[in-house]
Amino acid sequence: MDFFASAINLKEVFVQLIAFLIILWVLKTFAWSKILGAMDARRERIRLELEKIEQAKKEVESLRTTYEMHLAQIEDQAREKLQQVIADGKRISRELQDEARQNARSILDKAKSDIELEIDKAKASLQHEIAGLTILATERLLQRKIDAAKDEEIILDIIREIEKQK
C-alpha cells in the first residue's frame, strides 16, 4: 500500500480527472450527438437491409413456389401429350392393321377369282382338247376299224402322239 500512496500524486489525479471531465463534456456537447446519430443511422440502415433481405427471401420463396407450380403444370401437360401421342399411335396402328387386313382380303379375293378364272379356262381348254382328241380318235378308229384290241391300240398310239407334242 505504501507503494501506491507514494506513487500516486493527488494533484495529477485531480488534473487528469478534470481533463477527463472536460473531454467528456466536449465530446458530449459536440460529438456525442453526432456519434449517436451516426450509430442510429447505421442501426436504421442495418434494420432496412435486414427487412430487404427478409422481403427478398419472401420473394424468392414466392418465386420458388410459382416455379414449382409451373413445373408441375408443365409435367402434367407433358404427361397428357405423351398419353395423347400414345393413344394416337395405337389408333393409327389399328387403322393400319385394318387397312392391311382389307388389302389382304381384296388380294385374296382377287387371287381366288383369278384362280377360278384360270380353272374355268383350263376346264374349257381341256374340254376342247378332249373333244379334239375324241374327234381325232374317232376319225382314226373309223379309218382303221378292225377290232376292239386294235381300237385300243390305236387310242393308246394317239395318246402317245399327243404327249410327244406337249
pLDDT confidence bin for 68, thresholds 50/70/90? very high
Question: How many domains are there within the chain?
Answer: 1
Query: Are residues 145 and 151 in contact, defined by beta-carbon separation less than 8 angstroms?
Result: yes
pLDDT at residue 4, as a whole number: 60
Query: Are residues 154 and 141 in contact, defined by beta-carbon separation less than 8 angstroms?
Result: yes
| pLDDT digits 0-9 by tens, 16-35 | 999 999 998 988 888 888 88
Burial grade of 143 (CB within 10 A; 0-12, 13-18, 19 or more) = exposed
pTM: 0.41
Q: Can you give the residue range of the structural domain that contains 25?
A: 2-165
DSSP 20-68: HHHHHHHIIIIIIHHHHHHHHHHHHHHHHHHHHHHHHHHHHHHHHHHHH
pLDDT at residue 166, as a whole number: 64
C-alpha cell at 90: 395405337
